[in-house]
Amino acid sequence: MAFFGRVTAILLLLLFLSPIPSHAEGDVLRVALDPFPPWKYLDQDGEPRGMDVDFIEMLARRMGLKVEYAMYPFSRALYQLEYGEADMMSGVLRRKEREAYLHYLEPPYKNHSDKAFYLLRGRSHLLRTYDDLHGLRVGTQIGTKYFPQFDNDAKIAKVATHSFELSLRMLVANRIDVAVNTEAAGDYEIRKFGLQGSVAKAPYIYRERQDVYMVLSRKSPLADRLDEFNSVLADLVREGAFRRIVAKYIHEAPEH
């Protein structure tokens, strides 16, 4: 019995002498990325890049977190957060049905998300007002919310696809009449695929303030640090960190 008593004492001593892990040790932030260049995409080497990626890295460094990324279509990325398979996602609009499984980090890191509509060159004049969308086949992305009037309009013939790239292919093949995307992302991808001569942006663009959020899964093991996430994010927004990142990407963007 004396032997076991000595062993117990030694184990207790080692326990008290061992360093207590801090939040920064071993904590991993699992980020679900949906391809949305220039905000988030994989480069030629398969590495995550983009404005949102740079901002997430900045946030994670201040919180002592290591970031792991996985790429999914938008709807699948939301699914990963809903079931706790991923912790964070960027570029999410606030919708009531999503609040059941997402914490919206405050404040929003962007406050506009202009939506543009793209048609075959020579046909863009057909879409000058919102009402002109009625009677046209519009390519959308599965799970994506654009703006409430459009999202809830049953009179618009929406053709859901897995990506804007696929919508563009369908547009060029005359399988849809219009492809919709956030303006900056749509312009970027049209240049990327060399479609400037085939596709044009319609005069009608939806412009209105829309808050865009970072979100944290309610099932994330990091959800107990929600207040810390909000505090660090607020500091970054106040410092203008995201604006500086955007300015850097615009400055470095290649000419086409």
Q: What value, to the nearest 5°, has the Cα angle with vertex 61 and ends 55 and 62?
A: 95
Residue 127 lies in a domain: yes
Residue 14 lies in a domain: no
Q: At 54, which CATH number?
A: 3.40.190.10
Residue 40 lies in a domain: yes
Q: Which residues pair with 119 in a beta bridge?
A: 200
Residue 133 lies in a domain: yes
CA dist 146 to 5, 152, 251, Å?
67, 10, 27
Predicted confidence band of residue 13 (pLDDT cuts 50, 70, 90): very low
Predicted confidence band of residue 251 (pLDDT cuts 50, 70, 90): low
Residue 228 lies in a domain: yes
Residues 98 and 130 in one domain: no
Residues 225 and 197 in one domain: no
Q: For 230, which DSSP code? A: H
Q: Are the C-beta atoms of 169 and 21 separated by less than 8 Å?
A: no
Q: What is the CA radius of gyration of the chain?
A: 23
Residue 53 lies in a domain: yes
Residues 127 and 201 in one domain: yes
Residues 70 and 154 in one domain: no
Q: What's the mean per-residue pLDDT of the chain?
A: 88
Residues 246 and 222 in one domain: yes
**Which residues touch 218 (CB under 8 Å, ≥6 apart)?**
100, 101, 102, 103
Predicted confidence band of residue 10 (pLDDT cuts 50, 70, 90): very low
Residues 137 and 165 in one domain: yes
Cα 154 from chain centroid (whole Å): 26
- In total, how many domains does the chain have? 2
Output the pLDDT for position 246: 84
Residues 32 and 103 in one domain: yes
Residues 33 and 141 in one domain: no
Least confident of 12-16, 45-49, 197-201, 204-208: 12-16
Q: What value, to the nearest 5°, has the Cα angle with vertex 50 and ends 44 and 54?
A: 120
Q: How many residues does the chain have?
A: 256
Output the pLDDT for position 185: 85
Output the pLDDT for position 175: 98
SS (HEC) of 23-78 = CCCCCEEEEEECCECCCEEECCCCCEECHHHHHHHHHHHHHCCEEEEEECCHHHHH
Residue 93 lies in a domain: yes
Say whether pLDDT at 192 is over 90. no
If one compares 116 and 143, the residue with the highest pLDDT of the two is 116
Residue 240 lies in a domain: yes
- Domain end residue (candidates: 207, 229, 244): 207
- What domain range is 160 assigned to? 115-207
Residue 48 CA to residue 35 CA, distance in Å, equals 10
Residues 145 and 217 in one domain: no
Residues 31 and 107 in one domain: yes
Q: For 222, which DSSP code? A: T
Residues 136 and 57 in one domain: no
Q: For 131, which DSSP code? A: G
Residues 32 and 95 in one domain: yes
Give the orientation angle of helix 226-239 with respect to helix 241-252, to 10 degrees: 60
